[in-house]
Amino acid sequence: MGNLIELLLASILNHNIALVYILGMCPLIAISTNVKNAKGMGLAVVFVVTITGIINWPIYALLKSTGTTNLSLLVFIITIAATVQFLEMFLERFIPKLYNAFGIFLPLITVNCVVLAVSLFFVNREYTFAETAVFSFGSAVGWMLAIILVAGIREKMKRQSDVPRGLVGKGIVFIILGILALAFIGFTGIANI
Partner 1 sequence: MRWIRIKYTKWYNILKDGISKNNPIVVAVLGICSALAVTNRVENAIAMGLGVTFVVMASSLMISLIRNFIPAKVRMVTYMVVISTFVILFQMFLEAYFPSIAKALGAYVGLIITNCIVMGRAEAFAAKNPVKYSIIDGFASGMGYMLVLVLVASVREILAFGTFLNMNVTPDSWVNWTVMAMAPGGFFVLGLFIWGIRELIKHYETA
CB of 165 to partner 1, least distance (A): 5
37 lines the binding site for partner 1 (CB under 8 A):
no
List binders of partner 1 among 49-88 (CB under 8 A).
Answer: 70-71, 73-74, 77-78, 81
182 lines the binding site for partner 1 (CB under 8 A):
yes
| 12: CB partners within 8 A, 6+ apart | 138, 139, 141, 142, 145
What SS3 string covers 74-133? HHHHHHHHHHHHHHHHHHHHHCHHHHHHHCCHHHHHHHCHHHHHHHHHHHHCCCCHHHHH
In the bound state with partner 1, the residue whose beta carbon lies nearer, of 51 and 118, is 118
In the bound state with partner 1, the residue whose beta carbon lies nearer, of 37 and 98, is 37
Q: Residue from 3, 5, 22, 192 that binds partner 1 (CB under 8 A)?
A: 22
Residue type, 56: N
In the bound state with partner 1, the residue whose beta carbon lies nearer, of 77 and 148, is 77
190 lines the binding site for partner 1 (CB under 8 A):
no
CB of 170 to partner 1, least distance (A): 5
Q: How many Å is the Cα radius of gyration of the chain? A: 17
CB of 55 to partner 1, least distance (A): 17
CB atoms within 10 A of CB 26: 12
Query: Cα separation of 49 and 55, whole Å?
Result: 10
Identify the sign of the CA torsion 96, 44, 53, 72: positive
19 lines the binding site for partner 1 (CB under 8 A):
yes
List binders of partner 1 among 135-154 (CB under 8 A).
Answer: none
- List contacts with partner 1 (CB under 8 A): 19-26, 29, 33, 70-71, 73-74, 77-78, 81, 110-113, 115-117, 120-121, 124, 158, 164-175, 177-179, 181-182, 185
